[in-house]
Amino acid sequence: MKLKILVTAGDGIGPEVTNEAVGVLREVADLGGHTLEIDSRRIGGVAIVNDGTPLPSDTLDAALASDAVFLGAVGGNEFNSLPPDKRPEAGLLQLRAALGGFANLRPAFAFKELAVNSPLRPEIVADADILFVRELLGGLYFGEPRKWNRETGEAWNTMRYTRDEVKRVARIAFKLASRRRKKLTSVDKANVLEVSQLWRATVNDVAAEFPEVTVEHQYVDAMSMHLMNQPRNYDVVLTENLFGDILSDESAVITGSLGMLPSATIGGKVNLYEPVHGSAPDIAGKGLANPLGAILTAALILRHSAGLEAEAAAIEASVRKVLEQGYRTSDLARSNPQGFEVLSTAEMGEKVRETVKLQLLAPSR
Ligand code: NAD
């Protein structure tokens, strides 16, 4: 297998965490005899400083020519006074638009070793394993007309979807559910919104193509409560852009640390993979960053862009194992007086690499 990955490490802790995750990918590739071609380009603040723009054209060209783009994080306090379209985050938005992914996958799962880090009770979060599929290119964030009319003191946005936009993201969600626990929960507000009625009818049409998957519908207000009360009830959760933005952030509490969360945006020209966290300027350059979110993102690259499910699962199992063995980065050890061994970013990366090697050489360990 040959995979061409563009790494855009970006700013702050981006380079630190992607470096560890790329190390894990290299280890997996070496062990499996796969060819990994890694190219690195600038994005965000580092590109503003060096190239005068947050998304240099060589970065965009390299992204479009790759099989997958792996982004670290962008942003830094020194750029906060720039106008929005000149800031590091503009580079990421432009990249997302150019790659065209419409299905944003955000896993939210509980590691039992980290249950103490979640504000929810351990017996509530134990074994929760949810995959959010959020529609990313439509809905209220992109619908026209939109305007703030300062003269009349009125403003409006439009939540708009076409049947085809719903169908394409629903198919991805059903396909993923069919490979997991075969349950799909579609979230809408069909008791009030016509756009949600279209959403629900279309999801039901697509459901007929996947008879093995059980489908249920939830209203978004009720869902926001169920997720916190019974997160274990959910497998794949499919929803539109705004609802997905809110619910996936809410569900981050299941995992207990921002540093643990991966994401993937698929369905466009090239898939984009990024840990959920930002550039964390407060801890950048200190070896304090948790690289596990980036490492779990690397697992998503193997699963969704390389079809290497066993290798992706081995990375996920290795992260679990390392936590079981009592290793933590400082964000995870914060609320835990149990004397766990606190590792730097690089030490945690090394631990996962060693464990992945053992997993792949002797998977039953
Ligand atoms: P952030 O995610 O960078 O940090 C929030 C808090 O979580 C901080 O205390 C940070 O130290 C901690 N944290 C985050 N990731 C961590 C990790 N891997 N290990 C340990 N601790 C971690 O969010 P923020 O502080 O709101 O934003 C900082 C900058 O990042 C801003 O410029 C923002 O625009 C940018 N940002 C970028 C992205 C992205 O690139 N996708 C996403 C969010 C924020």
The tokens 């050489």 sit on which residue? 361
* Ligand 1, pocket-test mutation among 277, 282, 332, 347, most atoms within 8 A of CB: 277
The tokens 């299905």 sit on which residue? 103
Whether the model pTM is above 0.85: yes
DSSP of 325-355: TTEE-HHHHTT--S-PEE--HHHHHHHHHHH
Longest Cα pair distance anywhere in the chain, in angstroms? 69
Pairing between β-strand 271-275 and β-strand 262-266 as defined by DSSP bridges? antiparallel
Structure tokens at 288: 């304090």
- Examine residue 145 and say whether the peptide bond preceding it is cis (omega within 30 degrees of 0): yes
Angle of helix 163-178 relative to helix 194-207, nearest 10 degrees, comes to: 50
Q: Is any atom of ligand 1 closer than 6 Å to the C-beta of 75? A: yes
Which residue type, as a one-letter code, is found at position 96?
A: R
- Catalytic residue numbers, as ranges: 141, 189, 221, 245, 249
Q: Whose CA is nearest to atom 36 of ligand 1?
A: 278
Q: pLDDT tens for the chain, 365 residues: list them.
A: 899 999 999 999 999 999 999 999 999 999 999 999 999 999 999 999 999 999 999 999 999 999 999 999 999 999 999 998 899 999 998 999 999 999 999 999 999 888 888 889 999 998 999 999 999 999 998 899 999 999 999 999 999 999 999 999 999 999 999 999 999 999 999 999 999 999 999 999 999 999 999 999 999 999 999 999 999 999 999 999 999 999 998 998 898 888 999 999 999 999 999 999 999 999 999 999 999 999 999 999 999 999 999 999 999 999 999 999 999 999 998 755 677 899 999 999 999 999 999 988 876 55
* H or E element in which residue 250 lies: helix 241-250
